[in-house]
């Protein structure tokens, strides 16, 4: 805890009611100001957002990407080494794009021509922004547009592959016969921050970008990771052979990793850390075990019936020599979680085991289909299944309590596919449309250990507290308060009546209750939150405002002319029909963006 932060873990603010609408809402006495939107200049010299989609892919690679997700603040330091709270770097993930707002043509129509330049521009929407931000004398924050730290990492940035899978036969392609260097990072969802000053960004639904020209039948590995002939309809494979599963069957194996970026070295090459496993990574919550100083990274694989993981480094974190930690994430043990009952069924309490995913262990041998440790890591999901990991209700973020060693929380966002026969102690609801949060306490507070206790911290939407659904983003602040963000159904009609728009709440760890602090605009997801060390500024990301989404229509997403939800074609014709956040009257279309939240009296957030 920085000297400038108070030792006050109380939460006090005028909690918000659930609501729908076109604005960001924060409690009385707070302001929310937009800082950095899709299309805003990132790299020094970049043009402003045109608003008419006329940017080329080369320009889009210089501007902010789309669909802001995880965000971390990296403070600059004073000469004495103390952290500053008025200037630093923000690392921001760009997860995906919304074609109805990103292109002026109907991408979903196979009769519409989709060019390589269209694909390149789409690839530019993805990845990470690094921007220098500073607080002015009036308390407002700005991006320093001339900073030499400002950098875009996108779908075609050169990235090294490190760790046990580096050079593996399954990572070799015609463009990279050594299997050591890949272009780009995609679907950057959650993230994490290391104490040696790097950002670890997570590749989630990478499978959606791949497709196949011609007949295609996935093999077992491809099927397990959801690869198919059409992907999510991005159409990149039509013009860019890298995304054609028939032309480059190994290219998807080079995605689905955690990528480490050094934001303070703009010329550095990011590294895909294969020791942390290959799956649909949500975030990467990194803690230093206080006893052994080993690095522990907690991670979820976000898909129905997938797993919770952790990585434990072999080496100890060296606090006195930051450079010594540069490749510490390359060597260690990956574990997957098994959640068992404690003998008292139905009370939401249990015990657990971390099972090592080490080549040669029982069920992880050549006879079981694994060739070596690198091969096993490329097939992490299959290895985890082979050792009996517990299938969960879509593990999203993991957050570690900074005040209680060995305590972590995991959001299980929802799982409408779980049947009554599949219910277990850790996933206790069939048709789990609201989601839940599990608390894990490592045995003897030892994050490097292999056993733990767990309990269900809360069941969302159960009526015992504020209504919300689909907990997703999860982050402790340095005062030990747990912030919960949602990515769920915002229709506000039964069975989601009273939930309102997606939101952010803060949890009382003792009572297991939550208070609503922030409500996002229509159609958005609220995801990613970080603070300055003095806790007087909070940065929150708003992702995909104006996304119509699935299910019943949001009240404002219904086209009055048709009585049903706006279609992709209708939103291309009238991009502000559903949402004009954040630009309001001057908007050309809704834009994902980073919001600054602060108190008008300059006080500590939430106290």
Q: Which residues bind Ca ion (CB under 5 A)?
A: 341-342, 344, 347, 349-350, 472, 487
Q: HSE (CB half, 13 Å, CA atoms) of 162?
A: 19
- For the segment 97-116, give every residue that binds ligand FEO (CB under 6 A): none
Tell me, residue by residue from 280 to 309, as one string, x for binding to ligand FEO by CB under 6 A and - for no binding. --x-------------------x-------
By C-beta, is 189 or 212 nearer to ligand FEO?
189
By C-beta, is 318 or 347 nearer to Ca ion?
347
By C-beta, is 261 or 376 nearer to ligand FEO?
261
By C-beta, is 294 or 394 nearer to ligand FEO?
394
Q: What residue 347 binds from Ca ion, ligand FEO, none (CB within 5 to 8 A, per partner kind)?
A: Ca ion
By C-beta, is 312 or 529 nearer to ligand FEO?
529
Q: What residue 445 binds from ligand FEO, Ca ion, none (CB within 5 to 8 A, per partner kind)?
A: none
Cβ atoms of 9 and 573 within 8 Å: the answer is no
Q: What residue 393 binds from ligand FEO, Ca ion, none (CB within 5 to 8 A, per partner kind)?
A: none
By C-beta, is 22 or 503 nearer to ligand FEO?
503
Cis bond before residue 495 (omega within 30° of 0): yes
Q: How far is the CB of 79 from Ca ion (least distance, A)?
A: 38
By C-beta, is 206 or 216 nearer to ligand FEO?
206
What is the sign of the dihedral through the CA atoms of 269, 192, 83 and 315?
negative
Q: How far is the CB of 525 from ligand FEO (least distance, A)?
A: 8
Q: What residue 344 binds from Ca ion, ligand FEO, none (CB within 5 to 8 A, per partner kind)?
A: Ca ion
- For the segment 576-605, give every residue that binds ligand FEO (CB under 6 A): none
Q: How far is the CB of 273 from ligand FEO (least distance, A)?
A: 19
Q: What residue 342 binds from Ca ion, ligand FEO, none (CB within 5 to 8 A, per partner kind)?
A: Ca ion
Q: Residue 243 CA to chain centroid, in angstroms?
A: 22
Cβ atoms of 9 and 477 within 8 Å: the answer is no
Q: What residue 132 binds from ligand FEO, Ca ion, none (CB within 5 to 8 A, per partner kind)?
A: none
Number of H helices, E strands in the chain: 7, 30
Regarding 61 and contact with ligand FEO (CB under 6 A), the answer is no
By C-beta, is 472 or 534 nearer to Ca ion?
472
Token pair listed for 424: 């277990």
What is the rounded (10 degree) CA torsion for 285, 286, 290, 294? Answer: 130
By C-beta, is 30 or 234 nearer to ligand FEO?
234
Cβ atoms of 559 and 500 within 8 Å: the answer is no
Q: How far is the CB of 47 from Ca ion (least distance, A)?
A: 30
Cβ atoms of 518 and 470 within 8 Å: the answer is no
Q: How far is the CB of 95 from ligand FEO (least distance, A)?
A: 6
SS3 content of the chain, % helix, strand, coil (to 5): 15, 35, 55
Q: How far is the CB of 463 from ligand FEO (least distance, A)?
A: 25
Site size with ligand FEO, rule: CB under 6 A: 7
Q: How far is the CB of 391 from Ca ion (least distance, A)?
A: 17
DSSP string, 294-360: EEEEEEEE-SEEE-EEEEEEEEEP-TT-GGGGTTGGGSEEEEEEEEEE-SSTTSSEEEEEEEE--TT
Cβ atoms of 337 and 308 within 8 Å: the answer is yes
- For the segment 181-240, give every residue that binds ligand FEO (CB under 6 A): 189, 204
Cβ atoms of 507 and 477 within 8 Å: the answer is no
Regarding 95 and contact with ligand FEO (CB under 6 A), the answer is yes
Token pair listed for 101: 């707002």
Would you call 100 helix, strand, or coil by DSSP? helix
Cβ atoms of 474 and 411 within 8 Å: the answer is yes
- For the segment 450-509, give every residue that binds ligand FEO (CB under 6 A): 472
Token pair listed for 282: 């949500």
The CA distance from 530 to 576, in Å, is 29
Q: How far is the CB of 471 from ligand FEO (least distance, A)?
A: 11
The CA distance from 286 to 159, in Å, is 21
Q: What residue 95 binds from Ca ion, ligand FEO, none (CB within 5 to 8 A, per partner kind)?
A: ligand FEO
By C-beta, is 178 or 416 nearer to ligand FEO?
416
Q: What residue 204 binds from Ca ion, ligand FEO, none (CB within 5 to 8 A, per partner kind)?
A: ligand FEO
CA-based nearest residue to 435, from 408, 404, 400, 397 = 397
By C-beta, is 153 or 447 nearer to ligand FEO?
153
By C-beta, is 272 or 280 nearer to ligand FEO?
280
Cβ atoms of 476 and 400 within 8 Å: the answer is yes
- For the segment 246-285, give every residue that binds ligand FEO (CB under 6 A): 282
CA-based nearest residue to 65, from 36, 89, 87 = 36
Regarding 425 and contact with ligand FEO (CB under 6 A), the answer is no
Token pair listed for 158: 């050169």
Q: How far is the CB of 34 from Ca ion (least distance, A)?
A: 21
The CA distance from 410 to 399, in Å, is 7
Q: How far is the CB of 558 from ligand FEO (least distance, A)?
A: 26
Q: What residue 238 binds from Ca ion, ligand FEO, none (CB within 5 to 8 A, per partner kind)?
A: none
Rg (alpha carbons) of the chain, rounded to whole number: 23
- Of 83, 396, 466, 522, the one binding ligand FEO by CB under 6 A: 396
DSSP string, 363-405: T-SGGGT--SHHHHHHTHHHHHHHTTPPPEE-EEEEEE-TTST
Cβ atoms of 446 and 291 within 8 Å: the answer is yes
By C-beta, is 93 or 448 nearer to ligand FEO?
93
Which residues of this chain interact with ligand FEO, rule CB under 6 A?
95, 189, 204, 282, 302, 396, 472
């Amino acid at each position: 805890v920085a000297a400038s932060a108070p030792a006050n873990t109380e939460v006090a603010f005028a909690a918000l009611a659930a609501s729908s609408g076109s604005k960001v809402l924060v409690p009385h006495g707070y302001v929310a100001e937009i800082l950095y939107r899709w299309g805003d200049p990132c790299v020094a010299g970049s043009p402003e957002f045109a608003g008419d989609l006329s940017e080329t892919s080369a320009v889009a690679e210089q501007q902010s990407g789309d669909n802001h997700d995880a965000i971390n603040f990296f403070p600059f330091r004073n000469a004495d080494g103390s952290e500053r709270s008025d200037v630093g770097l923000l690392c921001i993930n760009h997860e995906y794009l919304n074609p109805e707002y990103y292109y002026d043509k109907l991408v979903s129509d196979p009769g519409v021509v989709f060019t390589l330049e269209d694909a390149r521009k789409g690839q530019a929407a993805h990845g990470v922004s690094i921007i220098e931000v500073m607080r002015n004398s009036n308390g407002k924050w700005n991006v320093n547009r001339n900073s030499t730290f400002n950098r875009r990492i996108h779908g075609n940035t050169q990235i090294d592959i490190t760790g046990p899978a580096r050079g593996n036969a399954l990572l070799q392609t015609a463009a990279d016969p050594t299997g050591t260097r890949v272009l780009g990072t995609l679907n950057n969802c959650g993230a994490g921050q290391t104490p040696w000053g790097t950002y670890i960004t997570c590749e989630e639904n990478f499978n959606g970008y791949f497709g196949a020209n011609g007949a295609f039948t996935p093999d077992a590995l491809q099927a397990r990771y959801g690869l198919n002939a059409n992907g999510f309809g991005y159409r990149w494979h039509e013009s860019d052979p890298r995304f054609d599963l028939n032309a480059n069957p190994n290219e998807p194996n080079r995605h689905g990793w955690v990528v480490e970026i050094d934001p303070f070295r703009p010329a550095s090459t990011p590294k895909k850390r294969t020791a942390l496993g290959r799956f649909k990574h949500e975030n990467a919550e990194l803690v230093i075990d206080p006893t052994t100083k080993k690095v522990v990274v907690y991670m979820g694989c976000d898909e129905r019936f997938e797993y919770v993981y952790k990585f434990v480094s072999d080496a100890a974190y060296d606090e006195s020599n930051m450079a010594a930690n540069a490749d510490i994430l390359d060597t260690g043990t990956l574990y997957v979680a098994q959640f068992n009952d404690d003998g008292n069924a139905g009370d939401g309490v249990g015990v657990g085991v971390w099972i090592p995913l080490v080549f040669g262990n029982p069920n992880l041998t050549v006879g079981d289909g694994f060739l070596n440790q690198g091969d096993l890591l490329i097939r992490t999901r299959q290895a985890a299944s082979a050792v009996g990991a517990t299938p969960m209700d879509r593990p999203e973020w993991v957050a570690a309590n900074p005040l209680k060693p060995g305590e972590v929380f995991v959001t299980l966002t929802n799982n409408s596919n779980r049947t009554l026969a599949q219910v277990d102690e850790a996933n206790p609801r069939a048709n789990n449309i609201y989601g839940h949060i599990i608390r894990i306490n490592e045995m003897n507070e030892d994050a490097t250990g292999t056993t733990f206790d767990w309990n269900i911290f809360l069941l969302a939407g159960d009526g015992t507290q504020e209504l919300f659904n689909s907990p997703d983003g999860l982050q402790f602040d340095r005062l030990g308060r747990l912030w919960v963000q949602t990515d769920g159904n915002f229709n506000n009609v039964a069975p989601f009546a009273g939930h309102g728009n997606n939101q952010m709440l803060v949890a009382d760890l003792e009572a297991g209750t939550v208070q609503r602090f922030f409500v996002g605009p229509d159609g958005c997801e609220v995801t990613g939150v970080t603070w300055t060390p003095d806790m007087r500024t909070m940065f929150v990301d708003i992702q995909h405002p104006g996304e119509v989404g699935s299910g019943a229509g949001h009240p404002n997403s219904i086209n009055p002319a048709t009585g049903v939800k706006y279609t992709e074609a209708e939103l291309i014709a009238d991009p502000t029909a559903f949402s004009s956040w954040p630009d309001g009257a001057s908007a050309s279309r809704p834009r994902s963006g980073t919001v600054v939240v602060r108190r008008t009296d300059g006080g500590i957030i939430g106290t």
